Structure 1
C-alpha cells in the first residue's frame, strides 16, 4: 500500500468508481459528500408506506453499448431487464415516444407502411433548411411543423425555458424518429435497472477497506492540503468560489403525490402542451416492473433556471455559458493536484454509462501518471 492519500469530492458514480479503483491499487482514499447519502442524483430509496423504490432525484435508466461498463455494474448489482417506453399527452390524446410508426399513423389517422411513412414525413419536412442551426430548424427539417409543434415545441420550451429557435440543433439528435413500431426509447444493447436500486449498488462499489466515506461533509478548500491529489466532482465554478459568475444550469422541482392502485399505467408520461406547467409525470413503481405494489408514488416534474442553493441538473451550454466555461477551464488547467471529473466537474451532460467509463479512464490515467512520474492533468476529459 502506498502512503499517498487521495480525496474524492462527491460520492456519486464518478467518485465511487475512481475511489474504488484507486483503493484497490493500494491508495488510501477518502470520499466526501455534502449529502446524507451516497449515489448523488442516482439516489434511490424505499418509500416506507408503499414499498415502492423511488428515484429521489428523478428517474435514472441504465442503457449502454459499452460491454465493459455493463460488466462492471453487474459485478456490484443484479440488473433486471427494463425497457423505457415513454408516452406523451398532447392535444388531448396519448401517443408513444420516440416518434415512431404508431405515433405517425395515430396522429395523422393513417395506416402507412414503413416506406410510405418515411416518404410521407419527407413530404412534411422543410427541405429548404439545408443546414439546421437551431433546435427548431432541425425539427422542421426532420419531421415538419405538425409533429414538431405537437411533440417537441412545448416540451422543449418548458424543459429549457426558452424558445427552441434559441437552442442548438445538436440537442435534437437525442430524439430519433423510427419507421417501425419499436417504442423502446433507447437503442442500446444493454438496458436494465439494478434490482436493489442505485444507492445499494454505489454503496457496494464504495465498500472497500482502503476507502473511507464521510457524508454530510461539504468540501472546504483547506481540505486539499491534507491529500496528495483531489478528484473533484463538484461544480467547476464552485471550485473557484463562483468568483467569475455562475455557469447556467436547469434544475428540477418535484411535486410528489401518492395514490392507491395505478395512476397512469406507465413509468413516464410527458406533457407536450405549453398550457400544462409540468414537463412529465413519473410513476416510480413502473421502474421496477418485477415488483407489485398496491399503492403508487408519482412525481410531477417542473424545470426552471437553477439559482444558488438549487441542485444543478442540466448544463445549459449556450454561448454565454461556453464563454464563461472557457475562462474557468483555463484556470482549472493551471491548478495543481486536482482533477475535475463527472457531470458537474466538466460541465457536460453525461449518461451514467459514460460517467462510469470516464471514471475508469481517469483512474487509469492517474495510475499511469504515477508510474511515469508525471503530473496528473486537471482534465482527462476536456469540457470544451
Structure 2
C-alpha cells in the first residue's frame, strides 16, 4: 500500500510542493544573509532588462542583415545606428510639440488647482444639504490626511530619485555594452546551457530554451507594436475631439499600455481630468475614445500581433496582477505576465516531451 502510494505522481508532486514551501520558509528566516546579493542584483537588473528589450527589438534587423551576407559586427553597428536615428527622429519630430504642451499645462495648472478648490469649497458650503449617506461616505478630514500623506510620500520619493540619479545614469551607460554582447553571442547561450545536461537530453533542452526565447520575443516585440498602435489611436481620437495636450496624453497612454489590465485605467485618468476642465462634455468623448481604442486593441491588434503565444485568460491576468502587486510591487505587475507566459510555455513543452517519451516506450 505504502509502496504504491509512493509511486503515484500526485503524491510525488505533493511532497515536492511541501519541500519547496519549507525551503522558502527557511530562506525567509535567513534572508538577511542574501541582502548583499539582492543589492547587487538590483544594481544590474535595470541595464540587463533594458538591454534585453533592445536585444529582441534589434535582433530581427541583425538576422536580416546576416542573411544578406553582412558580417555580424557590421550588422550590430547598423542596428546601433538605427536605434540612434530612430530616437533622434522621434525627439526631433514630437519633441517641440511635447515641450509646448507641457509648458502650457504647467502654466494652466494654477487655474486647474483653483477650479478644484472652488469645487471643494462649493461642496463644503452645501454640505448640510447632501444626503446623510453621502456625508458618511465622504470625510474631508480623512481626504486632507490622505492628500498630505500622498504629497509627503511623493516629496520623499522625489528626493530619493534625485539622490540616485547619478548612479542610475552610470548604470544606463552599461546598456550599450551589454546589448552588444547579447547581439554578438546571444545565439550561443542555448548551446552553452545545454552542455550542463546529459548528451541525450541536450536537444530537448535546446527545444525548451527555443520555446522560451520565442515567447519572450513575441511578448516584447508585440507589446511595443501594440502600445504604439494604441497611442496612435488615442492621438487620432484626441485630435478629432480637440482635446488639449493630446500628444502628451496619447504618449502617456502608449507608455501605460505595457501595464497589464490596469494600464488603460491609469492612462484615462489624466485625459478625463483635462477634459473636465476644458469642457465637461469632453469627458464623455474621452471615455468613448478610450473604449473604442481598447476594443480595437483587444479584438483586432493584439490577436494579430501576439497570436496564440500569450493566450492567457483575463481572469488569470487579474489574479496574477493582484498576487504580484502585493508580493513585489509595481515591478511585479509589469513582469508577472511575461514570466507566467514563459513558465506556461516551459510546462507545456515539457509535458509534450513527456507524452512523446511515453509513446516511444
Greater strand content: 1
- TM-score normalised by L of structure 1: 0.28
Greater helix content: 2
Question: Which protein has the larger Cα radius of gyration, Structure 1 or Structure 2?
Answer: 2
